[in-house]
């Protein structure tokens, strides 16, 4: 457990290989740990990417990736991560703005570092498309003889090397911060430490070598003067991240307190990073400063609790003179923020050169570079460490409601008084104060009571505190801010989804009210125009123009004879946002939907539209993994309107565009009509049939032509084919594009909320629902971190009567779990089958059981179902006899594996069996004259000797976990047999 915390919360398999690929690391006992920080911090979904060619030497190919953090610290809000594709080594730079000039300064520094220290000249730089055309970057790379290799427009996922490393580092930093209870304002220190530990952690993709080892190993094979004596990283200096540290005081270091024999010789802080193997970065929560020191002793059993009681205990060991020094050091002059910024600018301009330091990924290798005055402004916004000679480092902007540190220390002292103490007014500070840090660390203690007859400084600070101002990203944007943004070209796309208000619910929200209607209870207008009303109105007009092009309807008179006796349906607008991959607004969308719920029910009419069975989806992907099939995904734009309607349907004109005495007669199947899905399915099936495809028996949404498979789910279409049969696939795609408007054409990455990861070299495909699990985990009313989805004790019916609200919440929980159980997570299939029995009258015990499954899914959300890796078809079946104490029925389960991947499973109760007469019938009983030969296939294969039935003991039976609840050890083995693998450890 200690090395798990020292190395920044890696996975268990990393720890297994740590000893053989590191120096100074010794691990005893088991390596699998249950860690709260990992359970709360590791949550990021991964994107499958087609890897670029990486057969290069270390440093030859670099990948750039950006990550935004909040709140901004000293104006810095971006992490620029530069990754070496050959070794995985990472270098981190911190920027104020995402612009080419700042990227250029970082590249210049890294290029100089690599050339000076290792005689490496990078050959290729991978980056997002936005920087590929930046003139200053292009000129610099041309001067260095370096090629820029951008991703395709609006496709940052192609920059896989940098983005994958960034995701792992952010997960590591998040788990480290949560495990150490450190405040979020220390994000750059935590991220810096995460990069340091990432470079020293073994990686599966590197044959369990660390990026550090692989980098120096690659240098050893070069014929140059690069230092190659250190091949493995030395881990002996690593400590549990965030652990308590006892650092020598300044007086002890300088020898000025020799006469004070009984004074404390150390102050208490917490480890937040490493500058080398013997220089540590220690955070003082009282002064909120980070100190670089060598003389420090650690207590790895304790971390910062986030409680003011810990600060009080630390202050109890500080003498009065030291406390006064801290208070004076944290008191700022009475001046405005503008004046402070002007002074900072003037100081920067007066300096002839700026020394830049990077969080070097190399052991004991401090590297500096002198930059001329021209790049000084850029570097001020990039670096966070400044001069190496600096001992104390200030921190980041504080929200205005934070009181001065003196108030907080006074509150922590329970009424302790300091003489000659004046009370400056509360102002906006340029650092994160201790009180702010305490209550953002994750554990809030009860308030401290100061026993005094007079008002203390802490009370005065609370009275003078201004209303909190919402930080960027947490507040919805105002109408005035929207108008300012719309006035600047391209600025509207800088709005993040966290800043946007909820989409409008109706067209009325987009209209300017003629006069304000005052709500007498609240004294404010009831109706306010939506801030993005103009954009949604334009989206409405664009949508109506698209219907005009497709001829979706025609206007007719409401009083015409053809309408007499026919129903006129209403319609409504549905508004949504569309975001890019980084969560920023791409456009506002509006769609017109028919009120199909108002249609009269015709029981004689067939409206059922088949959809792709998930087992068929998994079976096709198993085939794709085994035979290395290409998988291309397309989306049919406004799919339903491509199908003609086969009956007379009339609809009111859209709200906001209605004309007197006019209605619309529909010619195409619009969204909302009951029959629209069936009409679209028939239309698409007919088109594919004309192109030479034939539907498979019992699966109308899966069609095949020679070596090409096409499956679809409503408007999502996927084409699977071998490269040798690409001409067939291309002909089919061209035929579909000739008739429908299709978008996409990239490799399959997402399908119905399922994330697809792929390793074509090993012929593996993983299916993951990380994003969906993150969403449904919010339903749980618990913060536990269970190791199993269900306890061993059987659930019993609730003797009371559940409320309607409780029943609906329980059913929502069970339904949410069920979707994961049938798609990618068979490990919770038995649990949700048991929970579903109590849908009608759930009690508190059932809610707790459902919460346990939700929390288990959240803890294990990175587990992905692996397909591929075998050449067999295997069916496992198991049952638990009369295990249900309520009705004495048996539980049964089966699991079907194709080509090494699980494609079908089930956990359920057995039907009641009449055991009076048991007789084997040799033929299929049916009164039909013609019987499909598929019903006899299984018997034929068994008679031919191609099917073998074998007994398997419970410990090796994959279906055993589908019939009963297991303990933690057996459940872990069950997960392994299901081929559920942690996707974070495999990339």
* Strands 980-982 and 243-248, bridge-based pairing: unpaired
Percentage of the chain lying above the pLDDT 70 cut = 67
Q: How does residue 863 score in pLDDT terms, banded at 50, 70 and 90? A: very high
Distance between CA atoms of residues 496 and 579, nearest Å: 8
My answer on whether 214 and 265 are in the same domain is no
Same domain, 811 and 959: yes
Q: How far apart (Å, rounded) are the C-alpha atoms in residues 45 and 755? A: 8
Residues 308 and 438 in one domain: yes
CA dist 877 and 894 (Å) reads 4
Q: Are 817 and 854 in contact (CB under 8 A)?
A: yes
Question: Which among 568, 542, 788, 778 has a CA at the least distance from the CA of 666?
Answer: 568
Look over the chain and give the mean of its residue pLDDT values, rounded to a whole number: 75
351 falls within a domain: no
Distance CA 707, CA 727 (A): 10
Q: Which of 121-130, 189-198, 513-522, 595-604 has the lowest mean pLDDT?
A: 513-522
Residue 171 has pLDDT above 70, yes or no: yes
Residue the block writes with tokens 């990618």: 824
- Whole-angstrom distance, CA of residue 609 vs CA of residue 713: 10
Q: Radius of gyration (Cα) for the chain, nearest Å? A: 33
Residue 44 within any structural domain of the chain: yes
- For residue 605, give both structure tokens: 């009419």
pLDDT at 917: 42
pLDDT, tens digit, 9 for 90 and up, residues 329-357: 443 333 333 333 333 333 333 323 333 33
Instruction: Give the pLDDT score at 4.
Output: 73
Assign 18 a pLDDT band (cuts: 50, 70, 90).
Answer: low
- 155 domain-assigned: yes
Residue 566: per-residue pLDDT: 86
d(CA 448, CA 446): 7
Query: Looking at the predicted structure, is the pLDDT value of residue 465 above 70?
Result: no
End-to-end CA separation in angstroms for the chain = 23
Residue with tokens 């991240």, as numbered in its chain: 241
Residue 241 sits in the same domain as residue 214: no
Asked if residue 895 belongs to a domain, the reply is yes
Cα(913)–Cα(282) distance, rounded to whole angstroms? 70
Task: State whether 317 and 262 are in the same domain.
Answer: yes
Q: How confident is the model at residue 387 (pLDDT cuts 50, 70, 90)?
A: very low
Whether 127 and 155 have beta carbons less than 8 Å apart is answered as: no
Q: Measured between alpha carbons, how far is 115 from 82 in angstroms, rounded to an integer?
A: 16
Question: Is 851 among the domain residues?
Answer: yes
Spatial CA neighbour of 984 closest among 21, 5, 14: 14
Structural domain for 847, as ranges: 797-820+833-985
Arithmetic mean of pLDDT, 536-540 = 93
- Whether residues 93 and 208 share a domain: the answer is yes
What gap in Å lies between CA 330 and CA 424, rounded to an integer?
12
Q: Is 549 exposed, middle or buried (0-12, 13-18, 19+ CB in 10 A)?
A: exposed
Count of positions (residues) in the chain: 987
183 and 315 together in one domain? no
Same domain assignment for residues 262 and 147: no
Q: Is the pLDDT of residue 42 over 70?
A: no
Check whether 421 has a pLDDT greater than 50.
no
Closest to 75 (Cα-Cα) out of 342, 384, 340: 384
Average pLDDT over residues 972-984: 91
Q: Would you report the helix, strand and coil content of the chain in percent, each value rounded to 5?
A: 35, 20, 45
| pLDDT of residue 871 exceeding 60 | yes
Rounded Cα–Cα distance for residues 119 and 365 (Å): 15
Tens of pLDDT, residues 302-326 = 888 766 555 655 555 555 555 555 4
What 3 state SS string does 867-898 have?
ECCCCCEEEEEEEECCCCCCCCCCEEEEEEEE
- Please give the share of the chain, as a percent, with pLDDT higher than 90: 27
Helix axes 676-690, 726-739, angle to 10 degrees: 130
Tell me if 112 sits within 8 A of 134, measured CB to CB. no
Strand partners, 91: 82
Is residue 482 a part of any domain in this protein?
no
Q: What is the pLDDT of residue 308?
A: 56
Query: In this structure, what are the phi and psi dihedrals at residue 282, rounded to the nearest 5 degrees?
Result: -115, 130
Higher-pLDDT residue of 927, 688: 688
Query: Measured between alpha carbons, how far is residue 598 from residues 326, 376, 527 in Å?
Result: 72, 67, 28
Tokens of 844: 């508190």
Q: What is the pLDDT of residues 426-452, one digit of tens each?
A: 333 333 333 233 333 333 333 333 333
Given 189, 220, 251, the domain boundary residue is 220
Q: Give me the residues paired with residue 269 across strands.
A: 245
| Cα distance between residue 370 and residue 356, in whole Å | 7
Phi, psi angle pair for 3, to nearest 5°: -70, -25
Going through 263-391 in order, the beta strands assigned E by DSSP cover 266-274, 280-284, 289-293, 296-303, 354-357, 368-371
Residue pair 89/212 in contact (Cβ under 8 Å)? The answer is yes
Residue 507 CB contacts under 8 Å (≥ 6 apart), including other chains: 540, 573, 654, 655, 656
Distance from C-alpha of 711 to C-alpha of 704, rounded to nearest angstrom: 9
Residues 675/644, Cβ–Cβ less than 8 Å: no
Phi, psi of 569 (to 5 degrees): -85, 150
Residue 701 C-beta-side C-alpha neighbours within 13 Å: 22
* Torsion, CA 673, CA 675, CA 681, CA 686, rounded to 10: -120
What pLDDT is recorded for position 943? 83
Q: What does DSSP assign to residue 513?
A: P
- In this prediction, residue 708 carries a pLDDT of 92
Examine the domain organization and report whether 174 and 287 are in the same domain.
no
- pLDDT of 626 reads 92
pLDDT in tens, 132-163: 777 888 889 989 999 988 876 555 555 555 55
pLDDT of residue 838: 92
DSSP bridge partners of 303: 243
Contacts of residue 228, Cβ cutoff 8 Å, sequence gap at least 6: 216, 219, 220
Does residue 640 have a pLDDT over 80? yes
pLDDT of residue 334: 35
Of 235-249, 395-409, 564-578, least confident by mean pLDDT is: 395-409
| Alpha helices, H only, 271-382 | 308-315, 320-329, 337-350, 376-380
Least confident of 223-232, 399-408, 641-650, 663-672: 399-408
DSSP letter at 385 equals S
CATH code assigned at 152: 3.30.420.10
Q: How far is residue 843's CA from residue 837's CA, in Å, rounded to a whole number?
A: 12
What CA–CA distance (Å, rounded) separates 521 from 524?
8
Contact 31, 2 (CB under 8 A): no
Instruction: Say which residue the tokens 């010619």 belong to.
Output: 667
Domain boundary among 472, 493, 510: 472
The pLDDT confidence band at residue 77, using thresholds 50, 70 and 90, is confident
Q: Are residues 106 and 246 in the same domain?
A: no
Per-residue pLDDT, 311 = 60
Which parts of 36-91 fold into alpha helices (H)?
A: 36-41
For residue 91, pLDDT over 70 is answered with yes
Strand pairing category for 124-127 and 61-73: parallel
Task: Pick 193 or 911 by higher pLDDT.
Answer: 193
Tally of CB atoms within 10 A around 440: 17
- For residue 556, is pLDDT > 70? yes
388 or 971, greater pLDDT: 971
* Beta carbons within 10 angstroms of residue 522's beta carbon: 8
How high is the pLDDT of residue 599? 82
Count: domains in the chain: 3
Beta bridge pairs of residue 652: 663
The β-bridge relationship of strands 716-721 and 585-594 is unpaired
Model pLDDT, residue 261: 65
pLDDT in tens, 684-732: 999 999 999 999 888 889 999 988 999 998 889 999 999 988 999 999 9
In a domain, 48, yes or no: yes
Residue 632 has pLDDT above 80, yes or no: yes
Q: Which residues are 281's β-sheet partners? A: 273, 292
Same domain, 431 and 296: yes
Residue with the bigger pLDDT between 843 and 913: it is 843
**How does DSSP assign 160-188, residue by residue?**
HHHHHHHHHHHHHHHHHHHHHT--GGGHH
∠ CA 977-982-987 to the nearest 5 degrees?
125
Dihedral, 362, 363, 366, 368 alpha carbons, nearest 10: -10
Q: Which of 192, 220, 248 is the last residue of a domain?
A: 220
Place of tokens 């007079």: 454
Question: Could you tell me if residue 139 is inside a domain?
Answer: yes
* Of the candidates 166, 211, 189, the residue with the CA atom closest to the CA atom of residue 59: 211
Per-residue pLDDT, 564: 81
Clarify whether residues 320 and 448 are in a common domain.
yes
């Amino acid at each position: 457990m200690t090395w798990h915390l020292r190395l920044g919360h890696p996975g268990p398999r990393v720890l297994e290989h740590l000893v053989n690929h590191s120096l100074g690391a010794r691990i005893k006992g088991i390596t699998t740990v249950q860690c709260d920080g990992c359970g709360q911090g590791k949550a990021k979904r991964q994107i499958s990417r087609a890897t670029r060619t990486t057969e290069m030497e270390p440093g030859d190919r670099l990948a750039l990736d950006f990550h935004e953090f909040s709140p901004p610290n000293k104006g810095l809000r971006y992490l620029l991560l530069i990754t070496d594709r050959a070794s995985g080594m990472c270098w981190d730079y911190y920027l104020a703005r995402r612009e080419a000039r700042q990227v250029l300064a970082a590249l210049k520094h890294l290029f100089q570092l690599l050339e000076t220290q290792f005689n490496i000249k990078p050959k290729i730089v991978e980056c997002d498309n936005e920087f590929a055309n930046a003139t200053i970057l292009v000129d610099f790379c041309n001067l260095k003889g370096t090629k820029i290799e951008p991703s395709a427009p609006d496709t940052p996922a192609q920059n896989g090397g940098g983005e994958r490393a960034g995701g792992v580092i952010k997960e590591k930093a998040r788990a480290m911060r949560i495990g150490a209870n450190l405040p979020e304002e220390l994000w750059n220190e935590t991220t810096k430490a995460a990069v340091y530990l990432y470079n020293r952690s073994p990686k599966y993709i590197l044959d369990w070598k660390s990026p550090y080892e692989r980098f120096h190993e690659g240098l050893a094979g070069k014929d140059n003067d690069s230092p190659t004596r250190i091949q493995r990283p030395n881990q002996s200096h690593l400590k549990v991240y965030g652990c308590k540290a006892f650092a020598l005081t300044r007086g002890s270091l300088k020898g000025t307190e020799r006469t004070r024999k009984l004074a404390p010789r150390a102050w208490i802080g917490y480890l937040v990073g490493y500058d080398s193997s013997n220089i540590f970065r220690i955070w003082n929560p009282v002064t909120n400063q980070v100190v670089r020191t060598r003389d420090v002793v650690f207590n790895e059993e304790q971390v910062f609790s986030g409680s003011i009681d810990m600060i009080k205990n630390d202050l109890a060991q500080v003498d009065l003179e030291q406390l006064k020094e801290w208070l004076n050091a944290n008191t700022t002059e009475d001046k405005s923020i503008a004046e402070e910024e002007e002074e900072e600018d003037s100081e920067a301009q007066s300096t002839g050169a700026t020394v830049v330091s990077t969080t070097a990924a190399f052991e004991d290798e401090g590297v500096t570079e002198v930059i001329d005055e021209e790049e000084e402004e850029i570097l001020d916004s990039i670096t966070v460490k400044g001069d190496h000679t600096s001992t104390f480092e200030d921190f980041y902007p504080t929200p205005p409601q934070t009181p001065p540190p003196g108030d907080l220390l006074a509150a922590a002292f329970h009424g302790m008084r300091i003489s000659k103490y004046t009370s400056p007014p509360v102002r906006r500070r340029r650092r994160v104060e201790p009180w702010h840090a305490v209550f953002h660390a994750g554990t809030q203690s009860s308030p401290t009571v100061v026993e005094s007859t007079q008002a203390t400084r802490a009370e005065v600070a609370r009275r003078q505190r201004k209303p909190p101002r919402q930080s960027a990203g947490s507040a919805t944007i105002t109408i005035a801010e929207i108008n300012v943004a719309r006035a600047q070209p391209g600025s509207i796309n800088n709005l993040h989804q966290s800043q946007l208000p909820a989409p409008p619910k109706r067209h009325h929200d987009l209209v300017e009210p003629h006069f304000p209607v005052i709500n007498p209870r609240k004294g404010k207008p009831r109706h306010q125009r939506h801030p993005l009303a103009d954009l949604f109105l334009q989206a409405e007009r664009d949508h109506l123009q698209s219907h005009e092009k497709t001829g979706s309807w025609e206007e007719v008179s409401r009083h015409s004879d053809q309408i007499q006796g026919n129903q006129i349906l209403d319609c409504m607008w549905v508004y949504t946002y569309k975001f890019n991959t980084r969560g920023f607004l791409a456009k506002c969308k509006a769609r017109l939907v028919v009120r199909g719920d108002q249609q009269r029910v015709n029981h004689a009419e067939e409206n059922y539209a088949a959809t792709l069975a998930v087992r068929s989806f998994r079976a096709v992907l198993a085939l794709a993994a085994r035979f290395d099939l290409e998988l291309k995904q397309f989306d049919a734009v406004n799919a339903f309107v491509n199908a003609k309607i086969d009956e007379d349907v009339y609809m009111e004109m859209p709200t906001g565009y209605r004309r007197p005495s006019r209605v619309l007669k529909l010619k195409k199947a619009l969204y909302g009509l009951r029959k629209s899905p069936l009409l679209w399915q028939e239309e698409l099936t007919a088109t594919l049939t004309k192109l030479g495809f034939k539907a498979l028996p019992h699966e109308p949404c899966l069609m095949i032509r020679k070596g090409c498979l096409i499956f679809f789910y409503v408007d999502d279409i996927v084409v699977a084919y071998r490269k040798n049969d690409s001409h067939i696939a291309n002909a089919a795609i061209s035929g579909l594009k000739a008739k429908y408007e299709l978008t996409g054409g990239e490799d399959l990455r997402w399908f119905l909320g399922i994330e697809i990861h792929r390793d074509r070299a090993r012929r593996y495909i993983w299916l993951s629902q990380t994003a969906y699990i993150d969403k449904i985990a919010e339903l749980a009313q618990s913060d536990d971190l269970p190791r199993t989805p269900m306890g061993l004790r059987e659930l019993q019916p609730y003797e009371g009567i559940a409320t309607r609200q409780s029943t609906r919440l329980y059913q929502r929980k069970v339904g949410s779990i069920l979707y994961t159980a049938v798609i990618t997570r068979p490990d919770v299939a038995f649990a949700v089958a048991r929970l579903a029995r109590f849908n009608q009258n759930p009690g508190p015990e059932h809610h707790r059981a459902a919460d346990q499954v939700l929390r288990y899914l959240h803890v294990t959300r990175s587990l992905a179902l692996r397909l591929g890796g075998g050449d067999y078809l295997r069916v496992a079946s198991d049952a638990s006899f009369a295990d249900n104490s309520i009705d004495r029925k048996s539980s049964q389960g089966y699991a079907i594996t194709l080509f090494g991947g699980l494609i079908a499973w089930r956990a359920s109760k057995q039907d009641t069996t009449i055991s009076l007469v048991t007789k084997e019938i040799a033929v299929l009983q049916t009164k039909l004259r013609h019987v499909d030969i598929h019903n006899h296939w299984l018997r034929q294969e068994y008679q031919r000797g191609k099917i073998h039935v074998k007994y398997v003991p419970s410990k090796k039976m994959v279906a055993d976990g589908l019939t009963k609840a297991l303990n933690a050890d057996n459940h872990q083995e069950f997960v392994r047999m299901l081929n559920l693998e942690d996707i974070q450890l495999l990339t």
